[in-house]
Structure 1
């Protein structure tokens, strides 16, 4: 075993810096370090790649390893893909002492490239081992830090028997040249050693052309800005000052590169920010120029340097990420049914100075004498932001501040110069609201004084949304945290604190149940966490309110003779309680979560035993039988639940013909191109998944494993930039966490949760139209009289291609969703008969 001792000595107040040690796995100082790599299941490398020692970009010793492979674009090869790869056995095979693998990667080409790595033992197939992926920007360096201890535990890789390291890339868009060096294994607590001065100087030289390019780009941007603002001298002066500031920052980057110290490592990020801000400046000037056209009509106070724009509820407006796309208009309209909530966003951008106490306020709206839409039904609150600090496993276009929590406890927010602060405008139409088009004003105030006033129109359709979910749901709300190896010690201490979110929420248990019901979610759990029992008090209350959805009687494992009596005993007590309360029709039993084929016999025995004991309760599983019982021994399950990416309509039809239900679910997968609800994914995806895609594919229900994984030390108490930790399950952001905790433990929604509900309401529109069509067709008189309407209504019910073509091809344009939704609503209103409800009560 070879040791690298990186000793950092400094003299400061008479104290020396600590000694840092790490174990070298590879530093490519010998030919053997290169020749041991080969193609998978072979002993040599193929001709599609080259590995060689080179003295360039040596982070340890005198040499690095250079990896070259040619461009491969599938469209140039009949659609065929290519995965250039090399693998080898590491010289150290017992990694049980180590918690991290660190390596230096340098991309010397003009194109970003990805490099991935599988690490596995002698038993587990390579592609089931630990997997790590890096995207290395053009002319840039990445220090990859791989948490191997956590990764091995998650993948069940034997850390004492590491036999394969498999590097690969996928379809390189251009020639790929990557330098790898200094692969280190670190024990817990060991620091990453500093990099040699020679390596830093090479990195500085690699960046030098980018500085010149950035300077040229800024000069060209200055020219474009000057030309664009020629007719607006005040804006031209502002743009020139902003460009001058960017040029000064670029000069500081250039000076740091010339020094060649560790500041070199920050230069790529600094120049990326400069490029982003330059693009944002051009975008912002274009926005300001558009806003100047309507400013005289909407400005009511002094605010010449402020821009106000609009965005739909299906968009995420990044507050500090350069280019921004907003609508500028004098009038904004929102449409919704009775008993529905629908939202939009007002975005305030101060361009030249900070603003204090910015607020958005609606006045009462009117549709004629005596017909009022109360401002009490219009809530306007700041959007909050959470900060991501790493690229998640599903990728991300941006690391930094993302909009997510909706800060219902705040009425106003301070907005810094250059920030784009969104306000969530949530409109609720009461059940008793008369249909019609209501008009009023939406004001933007600064320090209590109106500065802008926009026309606001609210159209209320002549039908109503149901009180309970229009689609059966099985969703866990059972707050807990998910520590990493790095945070488990501190989070264990936080668990003893009352203000820790997983404790604080308990003070408002019933409030949380009501809050969830507002989003069509029943307080429920798929799993039996420690101390869990169905909360029958809240379930009974929701039932009386007409808002109760499905709930679980308990989790079932695979059948075992010794454990089964206890399973039945647990579920029996809850079954009898639900029956006594008249809730049994809402109950289900869930279990055998994502079980593989080898467990199918035990799954069937468990399901059969449950059906014998509880024949009137649905038994559901996410077991990986993608034939839904057609090709397996599992026949006693009532409801199958595959991932959305495995929802096969043909097999679904076969299962339903055998009397089975087929739901679907998402979790940490699937990733794009399929829809999901991560913080970095477009907000529209949650709405499409629950609305248009559910309408198109008709799953029998939707399942989600958890919406309350919280890893923050304390609730959100201020904003808009919060200290809420966006990390949820492992290194994902928002997976298993659609909710946040506000002051004292109160519930806070997220933009993703709002879109979840909006999608269910879109689905409800389709179900109401469908039921109304059935009513008209069932009446001989109506059928004859409304023949043309039937044709129009059936066309409106179809999900158009502009909204969704498949589960992996769907729109990112909110206006397409609104057009489809409005066609359905107008068809319902034009039926010539009261709208029908598929849920047993009149939709009117």
Structure 2
């Protein structure tokens, strides 16, 4: 896999804020009994002649060609805490090409809420889908162009034109119910639509509680023009609760610029100019003279490049032929690290700053260097936090050459994340982040991909809470290269959108994106969960807190999570009602896919639907078995697969063992020939079920087969052999998210699936 160089980044501290003590004390076991059921969130609105106005969740990407919904509603509805931004989508579909204008009045109720913004949703041309889970269209909505309420927009004939409307509820807003009027004019005909806003009786914390390393070029965004432009861009990041890769840019605390380091005295020398770190550091780290809060942490310095942790020469001393350095070089380097520590301690920033030591070590030789550098750094500067972009692993954390010294921050590529060992490091006091790459393929969520469903961006933060992940990192927010509207693969990878989450500025303003705005929604969701846990994040997943069971209903693992955007949005809204005291417990996900099966027993035979066994119906052991192959998940059918190679018949294979002395069900086998994880969903009415699965292949041996059902390991690296060619196991699960989820396989290992049954349990 191609691995990426990260730029400058930060780490957030989790703390502060209020919370629901009862939920924290109960460990999330007090579930809501008075929550409202999910209602329609995609529906047509009152419309002017010659047009259809409609709405849907902001996680639903509205295709130009999508048919308007048949369900109807009379108003738009928002729910938000104080100090929260909350968006909605308004879609205009004009019968004939027409001019469109929008006007939204101020919200009135217990008080007045003034700030409201509008963006026009634009589209990116997709010449090739990212992967089998990609949305199937040549135009995918993503850019959000800032426009004024008075602007006139051209709506194409017979196609959808969405608008993204965002309301900000100030920290001092009175809680309660507000209303405004959205007036939409199409070809001169106007329609007034009520917009209802419920402001919860709590506020999101002023500080950012979920960290990140969103590496951006401020120069590309226009920040090189003046410090005023820089501050506007820092506002842009902070209001989205996203941490830029370089907090104090154009200054920094390192030896390369932004502050002077004197090798002779081994000290940092402040200079009397507005661009020095001594001026910009306190401003953006503590918020002095800015917003009074600042960003939660900052990166002090980082490696030279992917394969070179330290520069060849430092303070006039050559490093030598390898990365371990000479004694003279290491002495100078240790002085630098001690100076960094002293600078941080003097200002009380030792829990904010960190040194990003090494990027993605690739094997034992790199692990040796990582351990050596950790020992060197901690010996010179015991209070200096160290970061490494690698999943927590014993080869580094327990390396004998580290002499008990280690890394404080682990940045794990999502696809390589090992929850079990990560928990070990979290228990030892380390923090774990995730970062995302083009290789994070289905069934993993990937927040960076343009032609993936929007829920993948937001659900990532619910998964982060589940695993106590403290931040996200991404190597490039502004790496669009040429024209990202027509070339969404500037890095040459398989993912549309890889390398950029923002678009080139227009009229001096950043052009944000659906992906970027949904990151804010996800971070705000994380803040709700933090408040439900009393304002802090437990160290490990073993420490139950707040509304953990609300999260468990939405996320079973990093490859098993709800795809129901309306259900997730409703879950967040009900969580808000719980936090303000209007619900008696933590909400559960209320999901009902259009193809959901009624509560009953189902028997599923994994086989080639067009091959053997050919009996129709397939009757075995007194049950009728549905033939299940490798089709992609389809909500309308209520079942299907998600995985990196679904749809590729050369990889997703079938076998029928005609001569095996077993029944028809175990003669049939399906498997992923590349040995990857695939997720199967069977949408079904909520309740308790016994799920049974058979794996194996007659007269063959497969050593590390893995099957997980609803997050519970059924087979965990289990072997089948010629002596025991099949294994059958059952687990009883409580389905609260509207589907039974089976995860099969792991990297580079075969899992041979035979059949699965789902039987209600009283």
TM-score band by shorter chain is: 0.5 to 0.7
Q: How does 1:762-841 map to 2 (within 5 A)?
A: 762-771=525-534, 796-800=547-551, 802-830=553-581
| Superimposed CA distance per residue, residues 583-625 of structure 1 (whole angstroms, 9 cap, x where no aligned partner) | 4431111131111222111111111112223322210112355
1:746 Cα shift?
A: 2.9
- Equivalent residue in structure 1 for 2:80, among 336, 341, 353: 336
Using a 3 Å threshold, how does the CA distance of structure 1 residues 508 and 325 change in structure 2: closer, same or farther?
A: farther
CA distance in 2, matches of 1:681, 1:331: 28
Asked if 1:355 corresponds to 2:106, the answer is no
User: 1:315 deviation in Å?
Assistant: 1.6
**Residue in 1 aligned with 2:123?**
385
Unaligned runs of 5+ in 2: 6-39, 260-275, 304-308, 311-322, 539-543, 585-762
Are the structure 2 counterparts of residues 432 and 664 from structure 1 closer, same or farther at C-alpha, using a change threshold of 3 Å? same
Name the CA distance, whole Å, in 2 between partners of 1:824 and 1:696: 16
Cα 1:380–1:628, aligned 2, differ >3 Å: closer, same or farther? farther
Return closer, same or farther for 1:325/1:814 CA change in 2, 3 Å cut-off: same
1 or 2, which has the higher helix percentage? 1
Distance 2:362 2:203 in 1: 43
Give the aligned partner of residue 408 of structure 2.
638
The answer to whether 1:513 aligns with 2:234 is yes
Aligned-pair CA distance for 1:540: 2.2
Q: Measure the CA separation in 1 of the matches of 2:520 and 2:171.
A: 17
| Distance in structure 1 (CA, Å) of the matches to 2:86 and 2:68 | 23
Equivalent residue for 1:458, pick from 176, 197, 210: 197
For residues 759 and 328 of structure 1, the distance between their equivalents in structure 2, rounded to whole angstroms, comes to: 28
The question of 1:748 aligning with 2:511 is answered yes
Q: 1:566 to 1:392 in 2, by over 3 A?
A: farther
**1:647 Cα deviation (Å)?**
2.9
2:425 — aligned with what? 655
> Is structure 2 residue 243 aligned with structure 1 residue 522?
yes
Over 3 Å counting, the alpha-carbon distance change for 1:680 and 1:479 in structure 2 is farther
Distance 2:535 2:407 in 1: 33
Query: Counterpart in 2 of 1:602?
Result: 369
For 1:541, which of 271, 280, 283 is the aligned residue? 283
1:613 aligns with 2:380: yes
Q: Which residue of 2 aligns with 1:554?
A: 301
Q: Is the 8 A contact 2:83 2:204 kept in 1?
A: yes
1:442 aligns with 2:182: yes
Query: Structure 1 residues 612 and 631 mapped into 2: Cα distance closer, same or farther (>3 Å)?
Result: closer
Distance 1:711 1:589 in 2: 29
Instruction: Summarize the Cα distance change of 1:636–1:359 in structure 2 as closer, same or farther, 3 Å threshold.
Output: same
Question: TM-score by structure 1 length?
Answer: 0.52
Distance in structure 2 (CA, Å) of the matches to 1:345 and 1:608: 52
SS of residue paired to 2:531: helix
CA distance in 1, matches of 2:453, 2:419: 26
The residue number in structure 1 matching 2:492 is: 730
Q: Does 1:478 align with 2:217?
A: yes
1:620–1:638 CA contact under 8 A, matched in 2? yes
2:227 and 2:456 map into 1 onto residues whose CA distance is 31
Contact 1:310 1:328 in 2 (8 A): no
- Who wins on radius of gyration, i.e. which is larger? 1
Mapped to 1, the partners of 2:137 and 2:393 lie a distance apart of 36
- Taking a change above 3 Å as real, the CA distance of residues 365 and 684 of structure 1, as seen in their structure-2 partners, is same
Query: Which residue of structure 1 aligns with residue 208 of structure 2?
Result: 469
CA contact (8 A) 1:475 1:524 kept: yes
TM-score by structure 2 length? 0.58
Preserved CA contact (<8 Å) 2:120 2:146: yes
More strand by share: 2
User: Where does residue 22 of structure 2 map in the other structure?
Assistant: none
Change (3 A) 1:698 1:307: same
- The answer as to 2:463 corresponding to 1:693 is yes
Given the superposition, is the C-alpha separation of residues 381 and 696 from structure 1 closer, same or farther in structure 2, using an over 3 Å criterion? same
Aligned length: 491
Q: Which has the higher contact order (CA 8 A, sep 6+)?
A: 2
Deviation at 1:693, TM superposition (A): 1.0
Alignment partner, residue 453 of structure 2: 682
Q: 1:708 to 1:591 in 2, by over 3 A?
A: farther
Q: Is the 8 A contact 2:125 2:140 kept in 1?
A: yes
- Cα 1:661/1:617, change in 2 over 3 Å: same
